[in-house]
């Protein structure tokens, strides 16, 4: 039985050498990239953060991969990304700002490679054969015009999909409205459908620094010091899920992708080269475990919430914790995403457009997604927290080095 090959390499002082070794162990790029190839390099720059925070792909990894690809002299190389929901407002907050903050834009300029904001690119509607949830999807033209897609995710757990690696990284090829749609239709089903249309041809995963829990910087930083690669994105995600201590059978989008024939998730059918999983395994803390331990007494209903609302709310929690007002959250229920028909709660806040059916019955914060300040004010009002104290702590945080890396993030 032929097995999918995934490499796992420890990274020392020379990041580029580690990336080269990972690519070579995974079978290399021969037969994949030639003189006529049009290559899209797709890092995960989901938010406006600096390299080294673990929230976004480290620019050093993106630069090393780009350099290696350029050595093969393809006809075109582009670095493209469409950052998360809320990053599609030119001159206010958009992907280009995130690419600049991360250092990715500077790497691209150094190597003479253009960068493209896939949120603002023209888009085309694509039909998905054998769709599980999403029959059609809008995809950036730059992506569809590429012969080879190289995905460069960063190691992170995720509040909705357990992990976010190569397969989920492809959400960046869609405009903001389409990203929201994936949550409404069922995120993990939609990830499988999306990769049916635009599956990466090769993946290099950034495991220098990753994120667990709620992606709070620096508390949730994890430093595996790894890089990995594979021609099979499903197999790569399976291996790095295991490294993060996540059971592969519990990651539904991996199962769906395997069933659709997009790759191999079954550990028995994957060959790991380089470091053994047992030697580098480091369990990452799940998001809801972090919520329960840091915010006891707070209930969060967010089964179909997108990252837009979720991440703005997590920022609110960070500010309240810094203000030492966590005790006042006890008994609060927060609804993110699609609201339930019945909500047996005395104290609740509904956040975002998808929870609008609760407006009138419970305090409601409109928006898609609403801003963190609006969410913070409403939660403080309901929980009788001094908003001035919370905003003061927020400003103090933003003046620190950690705050600069975290600002407008997640």
Given this model, what pLDDT does residue 209 score? 97
| Domain boundary residue, one of 253, 280, 307 | 280
Which residue ranges of the chain lie beneath pLDDT 50? 401-410
Given this model, what pLDDT does residue 308 score? 67
In three-state secondary structure terms, 369 is: coil
Tell me, yes or no, whether 276 and 312 share the same domain.
no
Tell me, yes or no, whether 308 and 397 share the same domain.
yes
Tell me, yes or no, whether 180 and 259 share the same domain.
yes
Tell me, yes or no, whether 320 and 361 share the same domain.
yes
CA 21 to chain CA mean position, Å: 25
Tell me, yes or no, whether 134 and 59 share the same domain.
yes
Tell me, yes or no, whether 142 and 262 share the same domain.
yes
295 preceded by cis ω (within 30°)? no
Tell me, yes or no, whether 25 and 82 share the same domain.
yes
Tell me, yes or no, whether 107 and 16 share the same domain.
yes
Convert the pLDDT of each residue in 17-49 to its tens digit: 999 999 999 999 999 999 999 999 999 998 888
Q: Is 289 domain-assigned?
A: no
User: And the tokens for 287?
Assistant: 């998001």
The span from the CA of 75 to the CA of 37, in Å, is: 6
Q: Is 288 domain-assigned?
A: no
Q: Is 9 domain-assigned?
A: yes
In three-state secondary structure terms, 349 is: strand
User: And the tokens for 74?
Assistant: 């393809």
Range of the domain at 304: 295-406
Q: Is 311 domain-assigned?
A: yes
Given this model, what pLDDT does residue 315 score? 79
CATH code at 88? 3.40.50.11440
Given this model, what pLDDT does residue 344 score? 87
- Angle (CA) 270-134-145 rounded to 5° is 75
DSSP assignment of 174-241 equals: S-HHHHHHHHHH-HHHHHHHHHHHS--SEEEEEEEEEE-TT--TTTTEE---EEEEES-HHHHHHHHH
How many structural domains comprise the chain? 2
By C-alpha distance, which of 80, 88, 85 is closest to 120?
88
Tell me, yes or no, whether 142 and 265 share the same domain.
yes
| Domain boundary residue, one of 280, 313, 331 | 280
Given this model, what pLDDT does residue 302 score? 78
Beta-sheet strand order (sheet of 348-351): 299-301, 333-336, 348-351, 364-365
The span from the CA of 195 to the CA of 53, in Å, is: 27
Compute how many other C-beta atoms are within 10 angstroms of the C-beta atom of residue 304.
17
| Domain boundary residue, one of 217, 247, 280 | 280
For 367: left if phi > 0, alpha if psi spans -120 to 50, otherwise beta; the answer is: left
The span from the CA of 290 to the CA of 151, in Å, is: 28
Given this model, what pLDDT does residue 180 score? 78
Tell me, yes or no, whether 222 and 307 share the same domain.
no
Q: Is 285 domain-assigned?
A: no
- List the alpha helices (DSSP H) in 14-140: 15-25, 59-70, 95-102, 104-111
Tell me, yes or no, whether 358 and 253 share the same domain.
no
Q: Is 232 domain-assigned?
A: yes
Compute how many other C-beta atoms are within 10 angstroms of the C-beta atom of residue 327.
11
| Cα–Cα distance list, 49 to 82, 98, 394, 406 (Å) | 14, 7, 17, 6
Given this model, what pLDDT does residue 86 score? 66
Residue keyed to tokens 């399976």: 238
Q: Is 367 domain-assigned?
A: yes
Convert the pLDDT of each residue in 334-369 to its tens digit: 998 888 888 888 999 999 988 999 999 999 999 877
List the beta bridge partners of residue 264. none
Tell me, yes or no, whether 113 and 208 share the same domain.
yes
Q: Is 34 domain-assigned?
A: yes
């Amino acid at each position: 039985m032929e097995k999918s090959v995934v490499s796992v390499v420890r990274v020392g002082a020379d990041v580029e050498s580690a990336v080269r070794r990972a690519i070579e162990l995974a079978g290399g790029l021969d037969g994949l990239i030639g003189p006529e190839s049009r290559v899209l390099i797709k890092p995960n720059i989901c938010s406006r953060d600096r390299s080294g925070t673990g929230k976004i792909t480290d620019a050093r990894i993106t630069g090393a991969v780009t350099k290696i690809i350029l050595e093969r002299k393809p006809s075109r190389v582009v670095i493209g990304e469409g950052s998360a929901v809320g990053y599609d407002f030119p001159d206010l907050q958009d992907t280009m700002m995130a690419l600049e903050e991360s250092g990715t834009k500077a790497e691209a300029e150094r190597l003479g490679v253009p960068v493209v904001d896939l949120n603002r690119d023209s888009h085309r509607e694509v039909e998905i054969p054998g769709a599980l949830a999403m029959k059609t999807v809008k995809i950036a033209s730059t992506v569809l015009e590429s012969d080879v897609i190289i995905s460069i995710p960063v190691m992170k757990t995720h509040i909705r999909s357990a992990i976010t690696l190569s397969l989920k990284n492809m959400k960046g090829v869609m405009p903001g409205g389409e990203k929201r749609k994936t949550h409404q239709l069922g995120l993990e089903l939609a990830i499988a459908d999306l990769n049916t249309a635009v599956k990466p041809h090769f993946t290099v995963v950034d495991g220098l620094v990753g994120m667990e829990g709620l992606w709070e910087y620096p508390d949730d930083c994890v430093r595996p010091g790894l890089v990995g690669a594979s021609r099979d994105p499903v197999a790569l995600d399976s291996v790095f899920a295991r490294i993060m201590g996540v059971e592969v059978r519990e990651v539904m989008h991996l199962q769906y992708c395997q069933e659709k024939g997009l790759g191999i998730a079954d550990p028995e059918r994957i060959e790991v080269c380089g470091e053994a999983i047992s030697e580098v395994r480091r369990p990452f803390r799940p998001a809801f475990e972090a919520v329960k331990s840091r915010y006891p007494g707070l209930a969060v209903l967010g089964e179909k919430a997108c990252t837009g609302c979720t991440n703005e709310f997590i920022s609110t929690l960070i500010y309240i914790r810094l203000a030492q007002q966590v005790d006042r959250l006890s008994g609060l229920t927060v609804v993110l995403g699609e609201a339930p028909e019945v909500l047996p709660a005395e104290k609740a806040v509904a956040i975002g457009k998808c929870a609008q059916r609760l407006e009138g019955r419970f305090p409601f914060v409109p928006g898609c997604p609403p801003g963190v300040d609006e969410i913070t004010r409403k939660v403080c009002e309901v929980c009788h927290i001094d908003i001035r104290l919370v905003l003061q702590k927020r400003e103090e945080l933003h003046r620190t080095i950690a705050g600069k890396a975290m600002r407008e993030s997640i």
